[in-house]
Structure 1
């Protein structure tokens, strides 16, 4: 029997080191819980959630980042603790809004909920003769059809019951393909998990909300993970084992992308073609599969939309300056909007510069992970394809991020081994000719410990900068319950064929029942007509609304979400919109329907419709 007294005693330092990851993670989450319980979002200013958050939130984020950094650098702890920290980061980043706000964010999310509602109501896809411009969603129905099935499966009323939590769910979906991609090129846990962390904090563009893009991006990464891991040449020869099965899997994922989103298939094709031109991945099966499936859908189901949009698409091709200017070239109004916009720009620029530094500094890694550099650069030509509704620059940044985050992480770490160098080191250690170098030392020297603080400061700054970049415009994105109730009352009582007139589309349920009602957003008109409305708001709006035939009715809706959007992005400020509202309220042509502190609702009187014709 072993005499336990002969075993060496466990030092207190070692015991503390063993529980340190748990203590830091627990403290961070406790601070987060305290912060969300003491944060008031009833009155957001131009800085959105940034100034509303309790200071404990920022302390918790700092503790979480610091604990993560020293955990991944602190020796062989496996993947459990880094994974726990990344999940904690996603909870603090993506679940905070779902906990704080009683209603889902983003007018576009509400719009997508309306599309799901249409599929549930109609039970089938419909064309432009029935839906007008909204028929484009029925030509890419994959995401919406899946959500309609999920709504029925869960037995809930609509997707709004769970879409506030969609950013967290869609972000967690990205973790598996990201890990598979990064593990293709290194076994260094420091590099893998730091890259995942940087990806999470730099992915501020907001495409994780309830949208086809959120799922399509996860599938995009899934296809890349399969191609990088299963279609790479080994020893100069392509690996054929199980290739048919992997091709079937790729085909299914590509098909799901193609039927759900317009831009992601094009980004995927560009990435796969770029990989196919490299010696290591010179297998054209994945790219040919993506091209065939993409073209098949474009030439059949999506052809009506593409035929109508083709002249505008052709005009935008090659106009790189104009396509970029449509995104970042515009300057938001208001101090808060300007500060949060620059925070996002600086965060993206910092990650890209770190990626460049990592690629230059880590020469062996650059050679081994060359496909990731290529994938980071592959989306850049899409700037020449169009502005994508002023969002192309944001989408390009998002598709560049997986590769950029990997090399940005390499810039923050000491020299890291690739799979090849790790295998060589392990062989040398087994033969007794050298010490193993595949993992960081358990007890780094004092100089190395001091050197860890500078990268930690960079990581902490980027993590904190995510909050204004991601949540700085929540004054525009958040719709309080009274605003939701006001708009819901409108659509509950509006007869079929009614017209809803609003300043812009930034309000909840903005396209509710779009298959039976029409919508007109007067700030989308040219500036001359907007100025005409400002000169005589009630008279011009009554004239614009007069064509509605009874029993349909013409409604005027103005909410705080519309005013916040116009005040922060133009073209009218709050005082000008209040002048429009007051003119409508004072006009005998309009009759009040409902009003609360979140907005007003008026209806054009039938006599006024006849008089304006």
Structure 2
């Protein structure tokens, strides 16, 4: 949204004592205003102000729609001391050395944190320092800030793809199986053929697109590239984030610091190979269009341009609705929040979203919703239950507990910074009120559903774009109002106090601490998420030999290819059963498992699979101890009812004798 020219031409801020305004950079540092990423300003027309008798309220109202380029500039001596080219390649060189000297063969409960070479941490610190001193320099263009953010994404999101030989996350492998199903079946199927997993065929947008991509690039499966998906999906967020932030400010420091904090705070792990990763990018894309084209100065006010932007929004909303269940609801509440302001009271985007979402729910998604509706209704209003996390599991062990607390402290610190920024930046709070509303809009979703015990993580993720803008503002000087500038020009006491001066080092230390905290928050549980090649090979061997109608029994679903051939092979994870049945298995493992597995009919066979990933998940989430799982494995190995058919250092496979040979 382009700011109105009148608010910047009628009254230009004069320098506040002790601070330098963007309009004076040319005389003091030799840089034009445009070089600092700020638009040029015209000289103030005092006669116009006097003739119209502007009061303080009028001037404040006039400034409400202008951009935030009146943030005071940093002293030019900082720019002379900073050389933006040096820290970035130095940080990337340290990262390159670190990833080539990191051994992930024996991960402990701290995951990748304890495995990383020390030069990785040094590289991150150098990168943050280089970014901070570069973004503060008014002579540096946006391209340098962009370069540092891309460097951050490489170090954050590409490290795992480089150090691990196989893709992470059991859920990513599950989504690869769904893509494989679409390629194999050639079409969508119902619950009659697929059971509970038919839900993916009722929201097939992401998977159909990936199936087409697999065919287009000629690879065997999506597993060939899904290790790099976190980097790709994070890059998809960059453009809509920039468009959203540039709607409310032209100040380069605020824009790029907000982007940096967003990528540091977005640790919740929804950037993996999943529908949510693409739906979230489209969600931000819709918000960017609405904020820039449906506001009071947007170009979408009517006619052909309005129809064009409505068409763009419709395409993105359709892609969201057919790909993901939760994101359309989040988008609807966000658009409804924007309608609470006078600036964005155009109901077209909200009505478009609701109509498309309801149309899909009442047609293609109706079978799933009909079955799930009773549980969904019971969860409405159960805020305590909806706030539970982690699949009814509790982090167990020093590493799991420590990384969980680091993640909580990181999120809490960003949200507290955002609150401080809202309270401190009075002018910013009014000008960027839509971002305050977007940060608060997801909160009511706590009362709607638990979303598989993940609602708290999803709400946090959808809050971040708005919250990070104000968290960045908390680290920058207080915005000057035109009324305060006029008061200073006339020698009157300033009506808006300048507030705390953080200087250079406090914000820098905050950014360094947050960026370093991202690593344990994001990668601290990689012992559960990483499946070594031997484990992948073992599981693939099971499904390669399993006839149609077979059953695979495992402790839980935390292993690669856990859903391979789910349209032909059934799965049973006994740790997801009732606690009473788990106790029966612990009391007499072999006999109880043999009874459970005897239901397989010919020509299927019943397999018992126990792998390294299941041990890690069970131990770190406090389900069963490693000793208890090993006792189950020893009982099965010693039983005449079972026969070992495969195994290596990452796991073992047994088949039930005499069952459906």
On whether the aligned pair clears a TM of 0.5, the verdict is: yes
C-alpha contact 1:365 1:417 (8 A) present in aligned 2: no
Matched, 1:476 2:539: no
Q: Distance in 2 between matches of 1:364 and 1:252?
A: 35
Match of 1:269 among 322, 332, 357: 332
In structure 2, the partner of 1:519 is: 571
Alignment of 1:16-165 (within 5 A): 17=80, 20-165=83-228
Query: What 5-or-longer segments of structure 2 have no aligned partner?
Result: 1-75, 491-499
CA RMSD of aligned residues (A): 2.3
Q: Distance in 1 between matches of 2:242 and 2:505?
A: 26
What displacement does 1:571 show?
Answer: 1.6
C-alpha contact 2:79 2:138 (8 A) present in aligned 1: no
**Could you say if the C-alpha distance between residues 311 and 376 of structure 1 is closer, same or farther in structure 2, counting changes exceeding 3 Å?**
same
Question: Which protein has the bigger helix share?
Answer: 1
C-alpha contact 1:191 1:416 (8 A) present in aligned 2: no
Q: Secondary structure at the match of 2:85?
A: helix
Q: Distance in 1 between matches of 2:591 and 2:80?
A: 73
Query: What 5-or-longer segments of structure 1 have no aligned partner?
Result: 1-12, 435-446
Match of 1:359 among 391, 412, 422: 422
Matched, 1:220 2:283: yes
Q: Distance in 2 between matches of 1:408 and 1:298?
A: 37
Q: Distance in 2 between matches of 1:361 and 1:480?
A: 49
**Could you say if the C-alpha distance between residues 417 and 487 of structure 1 is closer, same or farther in structure 2, counting changes exceeding 3 Å?**
farther
1:113-139 CA-to-partner distances (Å, cap 9, x unmatched) read 000000000000000000001000000
Match of 2:368 among 299, 305, 310: 305
C-alpha contact 2:394 2:622 (8 A) present in aligned 1: no
**Could you say if the C-alpha distance between residues 305 and 353 of structure 1 is closer, same or farther in structure 2, counting changes exceeding 3 Å?**
same
Q: Distance in 2 between matches of 1:571 and 1:16?
A: 55
Matched, 1:208 2:260: no
Q: Distance in 2 between matches of 1:106 and 1:407?
A: 32
What displacement does 1:329 show?
Answer: 9.1
C-alpha contact 1:328 1:393 (8 A) present in aligned 2: no
What displacement does 1:570 show?
Answer: 2.7
In structure 2, the partner of 1:255 is: 318
Match of 2:624 among 555, 560, 572: 572
Q: TM-score, normalised by structure 1?
A: 0.91
C-alpha contact 1:188 1:416 (8 A) present in aligned 2: no
In structure 2, the partner of 1:406 is: 469
**Could you say if the C-alpha distance between residues 101 and 326 of structure 1 is closer, same or farther in structure 2, counting changes exceeding 3 Å?**
closer
Matched, 1:336 2:399: yes
C-alpha contact 2:79 2:136 (8 A) present in aligned 1: no
In structure 1, the partner of 2:305 is: 242
Q: Secondary structure at the match of 2:83?
A: helix
Match of 1:486 among 538, 552, 559: 538
1:414-452 CA-to-partner distances (Å, cap 9, x unmatched) read 12479xx79x99xx9xxxx99xxxxxxxxxxxx97x811
Q: Distance in 2 between matches of 1:335 and 1:15?
A: 43
Q: TM-score, normalised by structure 2?
A: 0.84
Deviates more, 1:586-595 or 1:322-331: 322-331
What displacement does 1:241 show?
Answer: 6.4
C-alpha contact 2:551 2:572 (8 A) present in aligned 1: yes
Q: Distance in 2 between matches of 1:15 and 1:288?
A: 49
Matched, 1:282 2:345: yes
1:263-315 CA-to-partner distances (Å, cap 9, x unmatched) read 00000000011111211100000000000000000000000000000000000
**Could you say if the C-alpha distance between residues 417 and 153 of structure 1 is closer, same or farther in structure 2, counting changes exceeding 3 Å?**
farther
In structure 2, the partner of 1:372 is: 435
Alignment of 1:454-473 (within 5 A): 454-473=506-525
